[in-house]
Amino acid sequence: MENYDIAVIGSGPGGYVAAIRSAQLGYKTVIIEKYDTLGGTCTNVGCIPTKALLDSTHHYAEAHHQFRQHGIITDKVELDFSQMYKRKSEVVVKNTDGLHFLMNKNKITHLKGTAEFINNSTIKIVNGTESKEITAKNYIIATGSKPSSIPGVEIDKKRIISSTEALSLKEKPQSMVIIGGGVIGVEMASIFSRIGTKVTILEYADHLIAAMDHELGKTLQKILRKGSVDIRLNQAVYKAESSDSSARVFFKDKNGAEDQLEAEYVLVAVGRMPYVQGLGLENTNVEIDNHGFIKVNANNQTAVSTIYAIGDVIGGAMLAHKAEEEGVFVVETIHGKKHPIHYNRIPSVVYTWPEVASVGYTEEYLKKNNIAYNVGKFPFSASARARASMDTDGFAKVLVDPKYGEVLGVHIIGARAADLIAQGVIAQEYEVTAEDMFRISYAHPTYSETLKEAYLIASGQGAVNI
């Protein structure tokens, strides 16, 4: 029986980063993955392919709606749906190939198969008809999550689908109802509405992307509606039915009035659930909470001190980069080099266009907890760079402590918000004040100047630039 220092179960962003850091620190490392490719949901059927399609459809929409204003005349713009999806798949392959290269480079053993704990110290790996047992001094469970649904709605992967199936369609859908207006829902709505699919979002809450600052969701709603997405809020879906060629969804509004919609596809985007099935946790002392997540302490240890868990499988924000941070944290904790993770300083991003990004406290949180704050808000429409690129939708908003100038939250909806938010993360991580943030030099003209102006306004000064 082979023995390892660290065995990582699952090869998503948390798992492969943990394995690489483990090997870098000199540990004999193995990573176990049941699929043929490494990378987990994010690389294969999540973050990466979604962003590839978001970029492709953004270019297509620009060609239709903006090129002429730029002085670019195209006689006929056509959609090659097959090529668009082919390119998406090529992007995925390049990323998965890169991960296999990194495993080899770092001399990490890669075992294909499903891992099942036999007891607290041994796992069995099954690959088809073959199986083997290994032991490790420490285990890291990084099995991630899978799409969840709601009562009355069964994902049949044919007409009632999840984002996974949406990324493998053979033809452009003519119509689609999306259940859920969270991150996955609005990104999928962006992809398909841009290529001419009639898209309707049914959201239970009274605004989109409910976990983020509410002003962001309200602004995104206006932008998506301008892009022909039908958005219906305060709708409770209770049933969905499918046939060979379409699906029908049934829902009620907050007053109980019933309605229904039929579309070529119904896409369920109501969140994700932890993937713990088949791990054999019942053979260990590892504990599961009422929602199916693995319980861990502040060191990401389970009830078994040598078994750790990270990423989606333990709950919290289901973000690839959150899992990566936890992967490094666990390995370095094992190594005796522990550093804390400040979860409030992990950014959230929505890759619509314009993009939406957020870090720190929301305005709703500060109000609810009676925390004093100043607001600095600056519109992209007043940015010279945004005008030059015709990307004037959105704003940058900063929330600042009025006494010490501490940056409490940064919320952006606008061009390249996904990249701009890193500045807000730095401000929070190193407790830089709003005055420090507006006194540094910003290149002109850039989108980042919207943040400079927001910091100025939050500090009691007026905007100084465009």
Active site residues: 444
CB 445 within 8 A of CB 455: no
Of the candidates 385, 356, 373, 358, the one whose C-alpha atom is nearest the C-alpha of residue 450 is 385
Q: How far apart are CA 156 and CA 198, in angstroms?
A: 21
SS3 letters for the chain?
CEEEEEEEECCCHHHHHHHHHHHHCCCCEEEEECCCCCCHHHHHHCHHHHHHHHHHHHHHHHHHHCHHHHCCCCCCCCCCHHHHHHHHHHHHHHHHHHHHHHHHHCCCEEEECEEEECCCCEEEEEECCEEEEEEEEEEEECCCEEECCCCCCCCCCCCEECHHHHCCCCCCCCEEEEECCCHHHHHHHHHHHHCCCEEEEECCCCCCCCCCCHHHHHHHHHHHHHCCCEEECCEEEEEEEECCCCEEEEEEECCCCEEEEEECEEEECCCEEECCCCCCHHHCCCCECCCCCECCCCCCECCCCCEEECHHHHCCCCCHHHHHHHHHHHHHHHCCCCCCCCHHHCCEEECCCCEEEEEECCHHHHHHCCCCCEEEEEEHHHCHHHHHHCCCCCEEEEEECCCCCEEEEEEEEECCHHHHHHHHHHHHHCCCEHHHHHHCCCCCCCCCHHHHHHHHHHCCCCCCCC
- Beta strands 160-161 and 307-309, pairing class: unpaired
Q: What tokens appear for 136 in the block?
A: 């490790």
Of the candidates 242, 174, 210, 155, the one whose C-alpha atom is nearest the C-alpha of residue 365 is 210
